[in-house]
Amino acid sequence: MRHVVVISTGGTIASRWQGDGYAAEAAGQEVLAAGAVPEGVDVRVVDLFTVNSSQLTTGHQLRLLHAVHEVLADPSVDGIVVTHGTDTLEESALFLDLFHSDRRPVVFTGAQKPLDAEDGDAAGNLYDALLTAATGRDIGAVIVFAGQVFAARGTVKKHTVDVRAFGDPDGLPLGRVEFGRVTWGRHRARPVPLPLPARDAVAPRVDVVMHHSDGDAVLFEAALGAGARGVVVVGTGAGNTNPEVAAAVGRAVRDGVLVAISTRVAAGAVTPLYTGGGAVDLAAAGAQLTGTLRPGQARIAVLAALLGAPSAEEAPETLRQVLAATPQALTRSDLYLVDRVGK
């Protein structure tokens, strides 16, 4: 018998109609009862909180992180399933993954259709997640959805309502769940985990600012004025802004703010190709390029670095270590070869 603990946090998988829209209200045991449990798996449910995931805060994520570590303190537990809303599932999954040191898996899942939908996806996703949690090893935190198993890092919600909601635009699934078993396709190396932050750690403010045509430094400066200790700049293309934003980034970095560069493009790595406020200048100003992490997960990387660094002065190096396991930009020689092959 394999022992799996389900930590329930709300989301669509726990939602019912409220008269003018859906909201999370069902307890974890109700969610579990909506479908079948794999043979040979014993399940215990922990109701941590019940919210729509768009309402989540770092405080919620810290509670979840510590709940996972408390559950795994029991050696009889083989794995954990976290039922979670899909809006911010990719953020919570990466957050836990960055602090996860146990061989046993933490499997995130949810649903795109509410609990009482006749054609709902909750039961199937939960069954697959339980199976993955019971049998997986050395996979860290993963996302199981619509029969696929994805590493937390790099996986994003790719569709607002379709049941095949998640994917990694720059990678393949780790495995698939079909015919009552998990088939593993590849192994992804696990990074060194960050030290666990205190349960009552004060969450630093980390903001996300998007660049666009006519973009300036006003919102970036506003984030700093609001007390942000970290800012993710969502660049155009391969991670580009303009000279005004690049200058503001340089001033912020000199003042001790952790600045990271992501992109609003759906796939591909942030790449230092362009000057004139592009990623070349942003990196020279002290910002860190986040590889293939999209904005939500880039923010989590900055947040985790601030929480996990031994001191504020060491946060930039901690972020570099976090990003080291993320696929990064092509080198100039790589780009030359791509160009030659393309011709």
Domain residue spans of the chain: 2-184, 206-332
Give all strands (DSSP E) within the chain, no chain letters.
2-10, 15-17, 22-24, 41-51, 79-83, 106-109, 141-145, 148-151, 156-157, 166-167, 175-178, 181-184, 206-210, 230-235, 258-263, 288-289
Task: Give the DSSP H/E element, type plus range, for residue 284.
Answer: helix 279-284
CATH number of 206-332: 3.40.50.40
Residue 44 has pLDDT above 70, yes or no: yes
If phi > 0 it is left, if psi is from -120 to 50 it is alpha, else beta; for residue 131 that is alpha
Residues with catalytic function:
12, 86
Could you tell me the pTM of the whole model?
A: 0.94
Which residues share a beta bridge with 149? 144, 175
Domains 2-184 and 206-332 share a fold: yes
pLDDT averaged over every residue in the chain: 94
Confidence of residue 239 (pLDDT cuts 50, 70, 90): very high
Binding-site residues for substrate sit at 53, 86-87
Binding-site residues sit at 53, 86-87
Per the CB < 8 A criterion, the answer to whether 141 and 93 are in contact is yes
Tell how far CA 37 is from the center of its chain.
27
pLDDT at 94: 98
Confidence of residue 329 (pLDDT cuts 50, 70, 90): very low
Q: Which CATH class is domain 2-184?
A: alpha beta
Residue 132 has pLDDT above 50, yes or no: yes
